[in-house]
Amino acid sequence: MIKVIVAGATGRMGQRVGAMLRGQADLRYAAAFEAPGHPAVGRDIGEIVYGEKIGVPVAANLEAVIDQGDVIIDFTFHTATMEFARFAARHGRAMVIGTTGLTPEEKAELAELARSFPCIHAPSMSICVNVLFKLVKKTAAMLGRGYDIEIVEAHHNKKKDAPSGTAIKLGELAAEGVGRHLAEVGVFSRDGIIGERKAGEIGIQSIRAADIVGEHTVYFAGPGERLELSHRAHSRDHFAKGAMVAAAWLAGKGNGLYSMDDVLGLKDL
């Protein structure tokens, strides 16, 4: 039985992770924590997630529960995530990170920290989104440079980062598919008299509205036709499900930074 520690346990994703943990045969909800001063600290997480006590009080920090679990599941905020990763590295505790919005510097630091603990970090924990990643890169390579590539992503109005980590990853993979780098051809906003679209641009546009869980569409547009590859999330449960799969896979793995490609066996496809 793999003992799981949930970061940000009372947040939107923290609660969905907790809810799905209950149905897992090989995972157990062992500990929960929030930020110091959070009103849920001291309460039984079961009352919040399940409506009944399970004997797991919400702690005020990771340090208080680090010895109670085997793997930390984190869907919080990038600066908090990095603090948790540093602490996990010092204690050699495994970590599944679904947090988006990490800066390039933070990603580089995470890769270095992962030399001291096993860690999975992915721009999306969704199984279908990770299949979409493969399809987008292959489609870009097959269609070549004669097609305009545009990405539109939509999320709820509480999301803090834009574009989404998933949209950026889709852009990076599409660029790789046509032998380019997103840092050189990515266009993240358009306003005013911008002139004709430059050849080779990859546009990424963001929508933030109401309670949209997450939607991504990649357009490959050529003369007289276009191909659209889309993913639409119906709930946050599919992110939590992916995190469950990742946590179970990570158990017993050696130190290092892994991806959902590793977890799902997609690396060589």
| Catalytically annotated residues | 155, 159
- C-alpha 241/C-alpha 219 separation (Å) is 27
| Encoded tokens for 6 | 């949930």
Residues near 111 by beta carbon (within 8 Å), at least 6 away in sequence: 257
Angle, helices 237-250 vs 127-143, to 10°: value is 90
Q: Cβ distance 53 to 47 under 8 Å?
A: yes
Q: Residue 95: which of 223, 247, 236 has the closest Cα?
A: 247
The answer to whether the bond into 163 is cis (omega within 30° of 0) is yes
Contact 151, 217 (CB under 8 A): yes
Q: Of how many residues is the chain composed?
A: 269
**Cα distance between residue 257 and residue 116, in whole Å:** 10
Query: Which three-class secondary structure state does DSSP give residue 175?
Result: helix
Interhelix angle 104-113/78-91, nearest 10 degrees: 10
Instruction: Provide CB contacts within 8 A for 25, sequence distance 6+.
Output: none
Ordered DSSP codes for 79-123: HHHHHHHHHHHHHT-EEEE------HHHHHHHHHHTTSSEEEE-S
Give the largest Cα separation in the chain, rounded. 62
